[in-house]
């Protein structure tokens, strides 16, 4: 899973952290258990607060999959179990529209533009290129070896010194007098040439960010968030973080010599594993967030290679055995009736504020500028009541690196409302009417036969088929076979 590849690009002198002990015996510290209990308490509070939301999501999931819940009971006379998947159709349509808006130009929906008043760089500069300039236009004309510009060499709107250099064939020395004549601000005459350094810098940054996001698979992660946005009503993205990515490379001797680069990465967090502060209505108000991970042994061991993870604590957690217990909604979604224990480890990742006293008990070196703070923003990982990682929030300024976007805002609630929930009543009515129509069609399409056996010769086969002949008793009055047909009201 992509989250296991996250790596935090922080230096030890910029972020305080709890150091790894030299031996497992040193890990037996009561303060470690206290902070683990602190994270567990926050997780339990957030879990209890979102139970109603989990019920809504589970109903939305069933409607999307076309599954009846335990609240729908069928009588013995109901033959039809049909489920009209109109919710799936509408959800996928909404998801397609969101993706079309986000990826309309086949790029990650991110743009960089200069502010109205750029800082540190001029918004625009110009130089005069009139024919009377001593070393301006004359040098450019000589470079082209023409008295005037040809149509294909005319200065175009938006031209910069770099584009002019390219067309001059690298004659930068001849343009140096022009650079010396640069004047801040836009040109006011018809012969002045204006370009915008702030805009050029912004677009170069945008191009680099797009290249890095494409390398990290951010488009795929954003599409996953958009799907849960349409289905459950809330899409969640996490990051960005700096990760080390390996690029395949072989040297001249055929030896594998990979290139390791640090690139930014963003990831999607499933709404089922996201436990925010229950008293917050949005991420700006959230005091903390807990993310629940489901990790295998190999994924747990891979944490040792990441910065500031405590190797002894990870080994101790592994020795305690698998601890992942499926939640009630997981068993329902998997339609599983066997045991709830999985061969995985439950790891809780906490981002948020912790009282300073708790951190001081762990010998955390609190920065001088935060000595007087009553609570500090930290990142904590725990598993099996062991603290795998505890660092000060590495982001400057500190913030919780999660972004939650609602499809439709639900007043006074953190989580939004999705298409599936809005379609719930419509889905229920369509299923009920369709089942009724099918049962009526089945009933009206068959003839009910009533037979008076006292008028028939005993021992006859009473099955009915075209051309069937029944033998009657001699002298028996009245009709012996009757047929009843029910009206068809499906329409």
Question: Residue with structure tokens 């028996």?
Answer: 476
Domain count, the chain: 3
* pLDDT > 60? residue 144: no
Whether residues 135 and 99 fall in one domain: no
Torsion of CA 462, 466, 469, 472, to 10 degrees: 60
Supply the pLDDT for residue 29. 53
Question: Residue with structure tokens 């999985």?
Answer: 342
Supply the pLDDT for residue 262. 81
Write the pLDDT tens digit of every residue in 215-236.
888 889 999 999 999 999 999 9
Whether residues 224 and 334 fall in one domain: yes
Whether residues 210 and 191 fall in one domain: no
Crossing angle (nearest 10°) for helices 30-49 and 51-65:
60
Query: Which run of H or E residues covers position 437?
Result: helix 424-444
Whether residues 215 and 77 fall in one domain: yes
On whether residue 66 sits in a domain, the answer given is yes
Supply the pLDDT for residue 358. 77
Whether residues 337 and 460 fall in one domain: no
Question: Quick one: average pLDDT of 52-69?
Answer: 94
Instruction: Specify the range with the lowest mean pLDDT, choosing from 49-53, 204-208, 274-278.
Output: 204-208
Positive/negative CA dihedral, 441, 444, 449, 450 = positive
* pLDDT > 80? residue 78: no
On whether residue 439 sits in a domain, the answer given is no
Question: Quick one: average pLDDT of 397-422?
Answer: 93
On whether residue 117 sits in a domain, the answer given is no
Q: Which residues of 151-173 are buried (b: 16+ CB within 10 A; e: fewer)?
A: eeeeeeeeebbeebeebbeebee
**Which of 134, 167, 195 is where one domain is finished?**
195
Whether residues 217 and 342 fall in one domain: yes
Q: Token pair of 69, please? A: 């819940």
Whether residues 415 and 460 fall in one domain: no
Whether residues 252 and 210 fall in one domain: yes
On whether residue 48 sits in a domain, the answer given is yes
Whether residues 98 and 142 fall in one domain: no
Write the pLDDT tens digit of every residue in 3-58.
443 444 433 344 455 555 544 444 445 556 688 889 999 999 999 999 999 999 99
DSSP-assigned states of every residue in 159-188? --HHHHHHHTTS-HHHHHHHHHT-EES---
Structural domain containing residue 469? 447-491
On whether residue 482 sits in a domain, the answer given is yes
Question: Quick one: average pLDDT of 427-440?
Answer: 86
% pLDDT > 70, the chain: 77
Top pLDDT among 443 and 242 is at 242
Whether residues 371 and 455 fall in one domain: no
On whether residue 442 sits in a domain, the answer given is no
Write the pLDDT tens digit of every residue in 301-356.
999 988 889 999 999 999 999 989 999 998 888 875 555 567 899 999 999 998 88
Whether residues 97 and 233 fall in one domain: yes
On whether residue 145 sits in a domain, the answer given is yes
* pLDDT > 80? residue 260: yes
Whether residues 353 and 475 fall in one domain: no
Read off the pTM. Answer: 0.73
Distance from chain centroid for Cα 90: 20
Instruction: Specify the range with the lowest mean pLDDT, choosing from 77-86, 220-229, 473-482.
Output: 473-482
Supply the pLDDT for residue 159. 60
Supply the pLDDT for residue 24. 43
Supply the pLDDT for residue 187. 65
Supply the pLDDT for residue 1. 39
Crossing angle (nearest 10°) for helices 424-444 and 51-65:
40
On whether residue 430 sits in a domain, the answer given is no
Supply the pLDDT for residue 72. 83
**Which of 176, 195, 214 is where one domain is finished?**
195
| Whole-number average pLDDT of the chain | 80
**Which of 195, 227, 245 is where one domain is finished?**
195
């Amino acid at each position: 899973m992509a989250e296991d590849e996250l790596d935090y690009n922080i230096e030890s002198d910029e972020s305080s952290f709890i150091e790894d002990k030299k031996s497992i015996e040193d890990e037996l510290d009561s303060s470690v258990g206290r902070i683990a209990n602190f994270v567990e308490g926050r997780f339990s509070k957030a879990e209890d607060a979102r139970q109603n939301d989990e019920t809504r999501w589970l109903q939305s999931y069933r409607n999307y999959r076309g599954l009846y819940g335990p609240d729908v009971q069928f009588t013995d006379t109901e033959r039809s179990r049909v489920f009209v998947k109109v919710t799936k159709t509408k959800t996928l349509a909404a998801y397609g529209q969101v993706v079309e808006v986000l990826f309309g130009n086949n790029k990650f929906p991110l743009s960089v533009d200069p502010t109205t008043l750029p800082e540190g760089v001029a918004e625009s500069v110009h130089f005069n290129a009139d024919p009377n300039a001593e070393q301006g236009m004359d040098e450019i004309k000589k470079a082209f070896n023409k008295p005037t510009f040809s149509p294909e060499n005319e200065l175009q709107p938006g031209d910069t010194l770099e584009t002019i250099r390219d067309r001059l064939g690298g004659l930068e020395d001849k343009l140096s007098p022009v650079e010396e004549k640069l004047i801040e601000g836009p040109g006011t005459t018809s012969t002045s040439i204006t370009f915008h350094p702030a805009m050029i810098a912004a677009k170069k940054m945008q191009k680099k960010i797009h290249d890095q996001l494409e390398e990290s698979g951010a488009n795929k992660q954003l599409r996953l968030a958009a799907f849960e946005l349409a289905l459950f009503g809330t899409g969640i993205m996490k990051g960005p973080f700096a990760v080390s990515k390996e690029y395949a490379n072989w040297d001249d001797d055929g030896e594998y010599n990979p290139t390791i680069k640090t690139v930014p990465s963003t990831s999607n967090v499933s709404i089922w594993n996201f436990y925010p502060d229950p008293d917050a209505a949005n991420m700006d108000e959230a005091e903390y967030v807990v993310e629940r991970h489901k990790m295998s042994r190999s994924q747990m061991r891979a944490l040792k290679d990441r910065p500031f993870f405590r190797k002894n604590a990870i080994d101790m957690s592994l020795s305690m055995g698998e601890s992942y217990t499926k939640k009630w909604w997981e068993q329902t979604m998997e339609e599983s009736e066997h045991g709830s224990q999985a061969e995985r480890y439950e790891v809780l990742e906490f981002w948020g504020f912790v009282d300073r006293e708790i951190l001081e008990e762990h010998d955390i070196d609190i920065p001088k500028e935060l000595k007087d703070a009553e609570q500090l923003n930290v990142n904590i990982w725990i598993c099996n009541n062991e603290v795998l990682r505890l660092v000060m929030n590495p982001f400057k300024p500190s913030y919780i690196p999660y972004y939650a976007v609602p499809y439709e805002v639900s007043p006074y609630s953190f989580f939004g409302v999705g298409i599936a929930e809005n379609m719930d009543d419509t889905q229920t009515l369509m299923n009920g009417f369709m089942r009724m129509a099918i049962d009526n069609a089945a009933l009206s399409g068959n003839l009910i036969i009533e037979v008076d056996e006292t008028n028939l010769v005993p021992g006859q086969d009473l099955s009915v088929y075209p051309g069937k002949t029944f033998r009657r008793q001699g002298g028996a009055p009245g009709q012996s076979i009757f047929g009843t047909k029910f009206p068809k009201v499906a329409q």
